[in-house]
Structure 1
């Protein structure tokens, strides 16, 4: 769920990330249903590449988004 919200916030689709990184769309979709702690480096790297960010930036932003969810 966190991945879906993050991608929406960054105006990018799972399809685009899959296409740009030669990853099966089902891989991205399955990752989108996992908890933040369960995401693979492969998925984080693909998202970062598509958004022109570092893996660290994406991880930090995902963690912040996850914390915001806990506050609400």
Structure 2
């Protein structure tokens, strides 16, 4: 499973909810989740949208995603 989807699941938020709360298109979010590049392929727009849905800062979201990806590699 993709780290981004795992992150959303861990935070109990759906891609639909991220889309609705942030205005980001569902296809854009799906492409980010389906990307083989992990978090390296994320745009600032996607990170900001996830942050809005979770009421976190984009920096916090990115830090948590980096940590999750790092832990998945180990």
TM-score, normalised to structure 1, is 0.93
Runs of 5+ unmatched residues, structure 2: none
Matching residue of 1:15: 16
Aligned length: 71
Superposition map of 1:1-72 within 5 A: 1-34=2-35, 35-71=38-74
2:64 and 2:23 mapped to 1: Cα distance? 24
Tell me the CA shift for residue 26 of structure 1. Answer: 1.0
Question: How far apart are the structure 1 equivalents of 2:25 and 2:39?
Answer: 20
Between the aligned partners of 2:9 and 2:42, the Cα distance in structure 1 is 17
Root-mean-square deviation (CA, aligned residues, Å) is 0.7
TM-score relative to the length of structure 2: 0.91
